[in-house]
Structure 1
Amino acid sequence: MRDEPTTEAQDFPAVTAQRLEAIPELDDAVATCRACPRLVAWREETARTKRAAFRDWDYWARPVPGFGPPDARLAIVGLAPAAHGGNRTGRAFTGDPSGDALYAALHDLGLASQPTSARRGDGLELYGVRITMPVHCAPPDNRPTTAERDTCRPWLTRELELLRPSLRAIVVLGGFGWQSLLPVMADGGWRVPRPRPAFGHGSEAIIPSPEGDGDVHLIGCYHPSQRNMFTRTLTPAMLREVLGRGAEVAGLQIG
């Protein structure tokens, strides 16, 4: 009998992810991953050195799992955790300007219980929405390598497979997330069109499901990065509009 893979093993995500039968199990397994040495070193070094404003924090310093209900109808796919955001708090889009913009927009639409997110366990709930990402560790300069993205891919592939019975729409934040998501959907059996849909703010594409039991509506959105929000490449109104469109096609009530 083959031994169970260790979290340091090169095949840990690929072997382990497909064995998991529920979203909570997947989230627990993601948080143990040590498959990418550069990312492990960076996230742990960031936790040791910290930022002056957060010197009293005990950083999460592990891979950040997805957040939201296991029967979500709408998924939001970002890039990766921020070094002093998700890597500090343990929750995606929490503790940085991107998260401030995202959760405020979700709350305005009635899809989040509160407009801010400070840390895991702060009482925030999402309604019908799950937030995830193609890379679960904070990368140096916010730039994961292609190899790191591909190593992490099985987590997102399995997450979307487990969400498939309910999932009807995905809002993708940024071009990296869009380019990373399409191969993941193809791996999961979705019939991704050829040529592959191009990313753009407000761009939309229908991705037929493997069994024809519920297609997924893909919607592009500029990433709510501090730079994009400061330059008004993306405004709060633009973000609400795209998220509202995602909720609409997913069949979620907003208000």
Structure 2
Amino acid sequence: MSAHDPSDSGAAARGAEQSPPPARQVLSDSVYENITAMIMDHEIAPGARVGIETLSRTLDVSPTPVREALARLESDGLVVKRSLSGYRATELLTRQGVEELFEMRLLLEPRAAALAALNADESQLDNIEKILEAMQSHPGPVGPYASYRDFAALDQSFHEAITQAAHRPLLADAVERLHSHLHIFRLSSVPGAGEPTLAEHDRVVRSILRRSADRAAKAMAEHLTRSLERQLGHFEET
């Protein structure tokens, strides 16, 4: 019997890391994305019942991945599960709801940016920069959800990466639980919001890279305030 070569296990581990995700996971993710788009684009109206069997027929899949997707969407705050009546799409934020959401963000995220400037390690700084660079190659929030999904996901990743870099797990968890990007983007796209958003993000990043806690907090507060103004302006227009 030949001796065991340690490199064999290393090669196996690398092979496992590089292997594609299982087909079931791919299907589950695809169903999740499809239902998310239906909710974001109001194909499933706010407050409407979300039927598992109906979605199974529409998407031509079994009920299992639909149930898995709805469980994820419940944690995202896009559907709610009620006893006896099943799942329903959550209602849209009102103007007051938007103001309260940003009130919470203004309490949490400037502090997170300040702590990120002090505590972020080099890999976290690199990651924040990479997310900002990736956002610059994607269109902003105009048209159906599919057209700006990547921008919205990167926008959320940008804010969450900053809170992770603060090295305050409870703070990061609080920001993530708001699911603010899904709720805001679901209201309706705000034409022209992409360019100012990127410019404001850039100021946040430069402040964090300079390790300036005060500037980072100020830049984040300015970004959130202007974002709120854009949303409220859209409410007035509609």
**TM-score interval, smaller chain:** under 0.3
Structure with greater proportional strand content:
1
Higher-Rg structure is 2
TM-score using structure 2 length:
0.24
Determine which structure has the larger helix proportion and give its number.
2
TM-score under structure 1 length normalisation: 0.23
